[in-house]
Amino acid sequence: MSTGTGEGETAPDGESESENPPVRRLSAWDAADLEELAATYETPLYVMDLGRVRENCRRLREAFPDADVRYAAKAHTGRAVFEAVRQEGLGIECASAGEVERAFAAGASGSEVQYTAVNPPDGDLDLVVQRWEDDPDLTVTVGARDTVERLRERGFDGRLCVRVNPGVGAGHHAKVTTGGHAKFGVPYSEAESVVLDARDDFDVVGIHAHAGSGISGDDLSAHREVVRRMGDLARAVEEETDLEFVDVGGGFGVPYREDEPALDLPAVAEATREALGDVDAQLAVEPGRYVVADAGVLLATVNTVKESEEYETVVGIDAGMTTLLRPAMYDAYHAIRNLSAGEDRNATSVTVAGPICETSDVLCEHRPLAAPARGDVLAVGNAGAYGYEMASTYNSRPRPAEVVLDPEPRLARRRESLAALTELEQ
């Protein structure tokens, strides 16, 4: 199945330039192929192109040739995606015990898995420690002295990384700017002490910090400052003990709007190396969004078209905030395309809304779109990151199905049934 092409840089493995652009726009997806998938699997439907996932992994490894590149699992935890990133040589960074279990289920070994504990529930620590007992190469990252003590109480004495709050944050929205929020990491002023205190009971292998999610060229100064502080900390710690890696997180942004340029990843990589400076430890990065965002689209069907004085035309679809939360949660922009509209349909200003009983259940407002009609199939771009992952069953709506292109389409996740929504009830 053809998934479309765009313009861009030279691709690996003999691919032409047009097959591996620095970003895949929604216009590059083949409309007929996507409509066929919608007809075959019904909507709402997520579509993930594993070939594009692999291309993005290769681009990262080329930009950071000497770094340990780990995929931030929370962006998309599908087994097919995990398998694809592992095939490209990336490790997996997990934010929960559930993600750790998914990584192992996808064939990962402990040496490929890093668990980053954020105020971890007891059950998470219990499960991860059990996993470590079977595979001692697993690494646990802690962000509080309490977590260090709780691991000690559980008999864990393995590979430990200390997450630091660098006091500087960046990202596309305040809700994902982690670097400056007290929730994340031990205070920078205490980090060296925490590392050195943990040496006697653990194998302290690294330090970690993360500025935020969706970092673009506009806020690289904050990213550089985080990395610079981590370099300073690493040099101070290395006077007392050896470190295996300095992890500066990920958060590399993608252009959600059609007119935004692609991230200059080589420039980001060079700025990261320069800011880190001379350290004995290996640089580590944890991209998530960059790997999967433009590898995914969401397909939805128009069910209602009505005129409104305030909103001109309101277009109702069968996907809403329970399918794709980002617009309601972050006021996020996603490109939308009418796959069913021919050249004879003029663009009209529309508001695209879902079926959820919330005013926030709107994917866009006052957006030009080829005039929709009932039964048309719409595609929502850059839906591969934090799309399916943030789906919910609010309003008792089952979660959608997901198809992967590998390169031919196959069903990766079945559509949730109404019966499944009540399975846990007693």
Every domain of the chain and the residues it spans: 117-287, 294-422
Q: Treating both helix axes as pointing N-terminal to C-terminal, what angle do 188-198 and 220-238 enclose, rounded to 10 degrees?
A: 40
Question: Is 330 known to sit in a ligand binding site?
Answer: yes
Question: pLDDT at position 213, please?
Answer: 62
Question: pLDDT at position 215, please?
Answer: 67
Question: pLDDT at position 173, please?
Answer: 37
Query: Minimal CA–CA distance to 141: which of 184, 190, 83?
Result: 184
Query: How do beta strands 159-165 and 245-247 pair?
Result: unpaired
Question: pLDDT at position 117, please?
Answer: 87
* pLDDT tens readout for residues 340-363: 998 789 999 999 999 999 999 999
Question: pLDDT at position 21, please?
Answer: 86
Question: pLDDT at position 343, please?
Answer: 78
Question: pLDDT at position 311, please?
Answer: 61
Question: Is 326 known to sit in a ligand binding site?
Answer: yes
Give me the residues of the chain with pLDDT under 50, please. Answer: 2, 5-18, 170-179
Q: Are 226 and 166 in contact (CB under 8 A)?
A: yes
| DSSP category for residue 302 | E
Question: pLDDT at position 15, please?
Answer: 38
3-state DSSP call for residue 146? helix
Question: pLDDT at position 20, please?
Answer: 73
Chain-centre distance for alpha carbon 125: 23
Look up residue 241 and give its amino acid.
Answer: T
Cis-peptide, bond into residue 136, ω within 30° of zero: no
Question: Is 290 known to sit in a ligand binding site?
Answer: no
**CATH code matching the domain that covers 117-287, chosen among 3.30.1330.10, 3.20.20.10, 3.40.390.10, 3.10.20.30:** 3.20.20.10
Query: Minimal CA–CA distance to 161: which of 89, 109, 216, 209?
Result: 209
Q: Are 380 and 297 in contact (CB under 8 A)?
A: yes
Measured CA to CA, the distance from residue 301 to residue 359 in angstroms comes to 20
Q: Which residues of 240-254 are buried (b: 16+ CB within 10 A; e: fewer)?
A: eeebbbbbbbbbbbb
Identical fold at 117-287 and 294-422? no
Instruction: Specify the CATH class of 294-422 in words.
Output: mainly beta
Tokens in use for 384?
A: 């591969």
Annotated catalytic sites, by residue? 357
Question: pLDDT at position 342, please?
Answer: 81
Q: Are 280 and 238 in contact (CB under 8 A)?
A: yes
Question: Is 163 known to sit in a ligand binding site?
Answer: no
Question: Environment class of residue 183 by beta-carbon count within 10 Å: exposed (0-12), middle (13-18) or buried (19+)?
Answer: exposed
Round to the nearest angstrom and report the end-to-end CA distance of the chain. 45
